[in-house]
């Protein structure tokens, strides 16, 4: 395991030249933020993640969080101290409302901090990640009293938050939630039921935990329309904001799992001792709507896990490839033991990771920038346009990047050969940690269904077609450059493939939904790869513009974008037959014949 090197210049390059940070900062909403301050804050955050957070990662995996017999949970060595420094740093409040102690920075800058924290220690990063979802929900739908009670302490991180959707019978099917809420005379509610898989449901990092719980009120209709959202603090909060009575919300077990051992995944029992006291957030039956609001940013953050863990694993793989000697590379003097980085297949492993990491970073930061642009829009039309782009890109950021998290950590492990399979090298941890991101926050299958069944429905695929039109401009500009002309041709071909695939699915989704859903995962890969290709074209054009300078960093950016364009982007055409096929082949075998 090498020490973590925060990729500050890579992040800044994408912010400036792909995500359009300059335009965001020039809007009225972000007039108080200047680019130089932002750059310094990111530099400071990078230093913090490398020096304070990253050293806790290996113990986090080996020791893990542990539940004690008194229902408390002890986090691994180093977590408490690193988290205390995180609270002191104020990074958690960066993108939130200044009225509650935030700095009001754009969302995309907070995501850059999250990228580095997740690379440094994915398990620890989940605690602020979930807290931010709770902050967003309380900020958007809470009463003034709730906002004043919970937000200031959650913005600093002194109190943390959890999201409680899942129950044994209610996973992807959130509408099957059974947890019950009964009204009290004073306006509060008593909650009863069990929630499973609750990230940071119990821990020793903060003095209070604010649980957001989806539950059903008496007489509520079945399904998602009957769900309401409740705020259930671990310790009730007194009028003077001091901590009061311990609530009837307890961790009864934590899961033993494949990865993210440092992050406690709790089974929570609400109301076993007479009822957990909670308060309705917003309106009765508003639960699912509120959940959707926080979902976009949570899905973006989980997509980031794919990128962050890939980046960390790549850094280690690159270092190993430069120190491990095996065989004699083609062209090396006879008898020389070459570093494995000289072998073509190892080069391919490294270039593939590098190119996809650049592509993922372009996608996720552009998605987060679209959120900021929607927030900062000066006209309703502009707001709608950025919101539509945000909504389209969310399933791509979440599912493509987390699938790639699995693939890229596997490639990084491969660079290590047998040592990669041995825990000591650290590669196994990245591989195991990355695995969950394709599952939680809506499995990648659910993301693909969302893309095809909902997002393509916006203006009959119009958001996709607008984006592809923009990529056409890049293909035209690249055609004029010697270095980028082959990339230009493959981008033009991918755009055409994506157009046909999209038109086909827009039509099929209304006439044959089962076939459209059968095509959903190959389509997500096809469109996601094309979007990464288009955004990398934007990056390559910026890197080759002499106005932006000329140095090794920029020429390396052009090279990895070209590699993506010439050798990875053409894979989209191979996905088209699976998109155009109907569902017959998937259903030809009976469940018995599949055996
Ligand atoms: C480590 C960890 C942490 C978690 N943290 C939290 C948390 O903090 N809060 C919380 O509420 N939950 C949390 N979860 C739960 C997580 O969000 C669920 O596991 C996830 O939503 C999937 O639900 P499930 O496990 O019941 O799988 P299922 O829904 O049973 O899915 C099984 C398979 O069927 C597929 N499938 C199911 N329905 C459909 C459909 N309609 N169309 C196509 N495919 C479908 C899925 O894609 C999947 O491949 C966590 C889970 C884990 C493992």
Q: Which DSSP string do the residues of 121-165 spell out, in sequence order? A: -HHHHHHHHHHHHHHHHHHHHS-HHHHHHHHHHHHHTSEEEEEE-
Per-residue pLDDT at 283:
97
Per-residue pLDDT at 166:
98
- What is the whole-number distance in angstroms between the Cα of residue 173 and the centre of ligand 1? 8
d(CA 488, CA 116): 32
Per-residue pLDDT at 2:
73
Per-residue pLDDT at 593:
96
- Tokens encoding 5: 């090197």
Helix (H) or strand (E) holding 46: helix 35-48
Beta bridge partners of 286: none
Low-confidence ranges of the chain (pLDDT < 70): 1
**In this structure, how many other beta carbons lie within 10 angstroms of the beta carbon of residue 282?**
18
Distances (CA, A) of 476 to 443, 564, 565: 37, 18, 14
Beta bridge partners of 277: 190
- Tokens encoding 335: 């008898």
- Tokens encoding 450: 């969302």
- What is the whole-number distance in angstroms between the Cα of residue 170 and the centre of ligand 1? 8
Indicate the top mutation candidate among 134, 171, 194, 287 to test ligand 1's pocket, ranked by most ligand atoms within 8 A of CB: 171
- Tokens encoding 224: 């998602």
**In this structure, how many other beta carbons lie within 10 angstroms of the beta carbon of residue 98?**
11
Atom of ligand 1 nearest to the CA of 130: 8
- What is the whole-number distance in angstroms between the Cα of residue 257 and the centre of ligand 1? 15
Burial class of residue 577, CB neighbours in 10 A (0-12, 13-18, 19+)? exposed
Ligand 1 contacts CB of residue 446 (under 6 A): yes
Query: What does the angle CA 589 – CA 594 – CA 595 come to, to the nearest 5 degrees?
Result: 150
Pairing between β-strand 208-216 and β-strand 235-237 as defined by DSSP bridges: unpaired
d(CA 519, CA 525): 10
- What is the whole-number distance in angstroms between the Cα of residue 166 and the centre of ligand 1? 8
Ligand 1 contacts CB of residue 298 (under 6 A): no
Do 549 and 577 contact (CB within 8 A), yes or no?
Answer: no
Do 362 and 541 contact (CB within 8 A), yes or no?
Answer: no
Ligand 1 contacts CB of residue 53 (under 6 A): no
**84-114: pLDDT as tens digits:** 999 999 999 999 989 999 999 999 999 999 9
- What is the whole-number distance in angstroms between the Cα of residue 397 and the centre of ligand 1? 18
d(CA 452, CA 450): 6
Do 317 and 353 contact (CB within 8 A), yes or no?
Answer: yes
d(CA 61, CA 124): 11
Distance from the first to the final alpha carbon of the chain:
42
- What is the whole-number distance in angstroms between the Cα of residue 433 and the centre of ligand 1? 16
Do 296 and 391 contact (CB within 8 A), yes or no?
Answer: yes
Ligand 1 contacts CB of residue 449 (under 6 A): yes
Per-residue pLDDT at 569:
98
d(CA 368, CA 187): 38
Distances (CA, A) of 353 to 279, 288, 487: 47, 37, 18
Ligand 1 contacts CB of residue 277 (under 6 A): no
What's CA 291's distance to the chain center, in Å?
16
d(CA 442, CA 396): 12
Atom of ligand 1 nearest to the CA of 444: 47
- Tokens encoding 193: 């039921």
Closest-CA residue, ligand 1 atom 40, reads 446
d(CA 139, CA 150): 9
Do 414 and 446 contact (CB within 8 A), yes or no?
Answer: no
Do 109 and 95 contact (CB within 8 A), yes or no?
Answer: yes
Ligand 1 contacts CB of residue 440 (under 6 A): yes
d(CA 351, CA 177): 45
Q: DSSP character for 19?
A: S
pTM for this prediction: 0.98
Indicate the top mutation candidate among 129, 170, 197 to test ligand 1's pocket, ranked by most ligand atoms within 8 A of CB: 197
Atom of ligand 1 nearest to the CA of 171: 26
- What is the whole-number distance in angstroms between the Cα of residue 536 and the centre of ligand 1? 32
Beta bridge partners of 325: 339
Helix (H) or strand (E) holding 352: helix 344-376
Q: DSSP character for 334?
A: T
Closest-CA residue, ligand 1 atom 29, reads 172
Q: Which residues contact 296 (CB under 8 A, 6 or more apart)?
A: 371, 390, 391, 394
Is the C-alpha dihedral spanning 444, 267, 228, 134 positive or negative?
negative
Residue 334 phi/psi, 5-degree rounding, is -55, 135
Ligand 1 contacts CB of residue 194 (under 6 A): no
Per-residue pLDDT at 216:
98
Ligand 1 contacts CB of residue 171 (under 6 A): yes
Catalytic site includes residue 323: no
- What is the whole-number distance in angstroms between the Cα of residue 463 and the centre of ligand 1? 28
Pairing between β-strand 265-270 and β-strand 189-199 as defined by DSSP bridges: antiparallel
d(CA 129, CA 147): 19
d(CA 395, CA 446): 9
Closest-CA residue, ligand 1 atom 48, reads 443
Ligand 1 contacts CB of residue 198 (under 6 A): yes
Do 118 and 309 contact (CB within 8 A), yes or no?
Answer: yes
Burial class of residue 484, CB neighbours in 10 A (0-12, 13-18, 19+)? buried
d(CA 511, CA 494): 26
d(CA 145, CA 374): 28
d(CA 130, CA 107): 15
Indicate the top mutation candidate among 290, 439, 447, 524 to test ligand 1's pocket, ranked by most ligand atoms within 8 A of CB: 439
Q: What is the largest CA-CA distance in the chain?
A: 87
Catalytic residue among 136, 167, 202, 441: 441
- Angle at which helix 552-563 crosses helix 485-511, to 10 degrees, equals 50
């Amino acid at each position: 395991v090498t020490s973590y090197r925060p990729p500050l210049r890579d992040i800044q390059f994408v912010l400036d030249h792909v995500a359009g940070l300059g335009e965001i900062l020039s809007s009225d909403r972000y007039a108080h933020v200047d680019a130089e301050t932002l750059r310094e804050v990111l530099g400071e955050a990078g230093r913090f993640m490398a020096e304070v957070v990253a050293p806790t990662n290996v113990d986090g995996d080996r020791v893990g969080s542990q539940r004690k017999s008194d229902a408390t949970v002890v986090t691994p060595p180093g977590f408490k101290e690193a988290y205390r420094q995180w609270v002191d740093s104020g990074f958690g409040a960066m993108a939130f409302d200044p009225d509650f102690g935030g700095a009001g920075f754009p969302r995309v800058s907070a995501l850059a901090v999250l990228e580095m924290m997740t690379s440094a220690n994915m398990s620890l990063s989940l605690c602020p990640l979930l807290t931010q979802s709770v902050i967003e929900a309380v900020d958007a739908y809470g009463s003034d009293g709730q906002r004043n009670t919970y937000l200031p302490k959650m913005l600093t991180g002194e109190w943390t938050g959890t999201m409680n959707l899942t129950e044994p019978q209610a996973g992807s099917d959130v509408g099957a939630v059974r947890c019950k809420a009964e009204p009290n005379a004073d306006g509060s509610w008593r909650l009863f039921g069990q929630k499973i898989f609750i990230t940071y449901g119990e821990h020793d990092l903060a003095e209070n935990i604010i649980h957001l719980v989806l539950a059903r009120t008496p007489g509520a209709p079945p399904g998602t329309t009957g769900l309401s959202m409740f705020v259930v603090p671990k310790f009730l909060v007194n009028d003077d904001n001091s901590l009061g009575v311990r609530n009837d919300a307890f961790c009864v077990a934590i899961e033993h799992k494949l990865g993210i051992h440092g992050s406690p995944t709790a089974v929570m029992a609400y109301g076993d001792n007479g009822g957990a006291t909670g308060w309705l957030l917003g309106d009765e039956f508003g639960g699912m709507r509120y959940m959707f609001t926080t979902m976009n940013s949570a899905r973006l953050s989980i997509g980031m896990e794919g990128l962050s863990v890939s980046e960390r694993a790549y850094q280690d793989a690159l270092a190993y490839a430069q120190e491990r000697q095996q065989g004699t590379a083609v062209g090396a003097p006879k008898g020389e033991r070459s570093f494995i980085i000289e072998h073509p297949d190892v080069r391919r492993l490294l270039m593939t990771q590098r190119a996809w990491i650049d592509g993922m970073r372009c996608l996720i930061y552009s998605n987060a920038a679209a959120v900021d642009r929607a927030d900062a829009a000066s006209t309703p039309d502009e707001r709608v346009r950025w919101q539509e782009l945000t909504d389209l890109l969310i399933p791509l950021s979440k599912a493509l990047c987390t699938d790639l998290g699995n693939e890229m950590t596997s490639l990084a492990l491969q660079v290590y050969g047998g040592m990669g399979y041995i825990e000591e090298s650290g590669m196994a941890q990245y591989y195991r940690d990355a695995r969950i991101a394709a599952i939680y926050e809506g499995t990648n299958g659910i993301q693909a269904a969302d893309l095809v069944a909902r997002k393509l429905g916006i203006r009959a695929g119009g958001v996709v077609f607008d984006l592809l039109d923009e990529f056409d401009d890049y293909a035209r500009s690249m055609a004029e450059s010697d270095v980028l002309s082959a990339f230009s041709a493959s981008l033009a071909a991918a755009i055409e493939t994506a157009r046909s695939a999209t038109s086909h699915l827009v039509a099929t989704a209304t006439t044959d939904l089962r076939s459209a859903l059968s095509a959903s995962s190959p389509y997500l890969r096809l469109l996601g790869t094309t979007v990464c290709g288009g955004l990398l074209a934007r990056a390559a054009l910026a890197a080759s513009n002499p106005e932006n300078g000329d140095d090794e960093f920029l020429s390396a950016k052009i090279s990895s974008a070209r590699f993506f364009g010439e050798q990875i982007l053409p894979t989209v055409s191979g996905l088209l037959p699976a998109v155009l096929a109907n569902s017959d082949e998937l259903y030809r075998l009976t469940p018995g014949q599949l055996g």
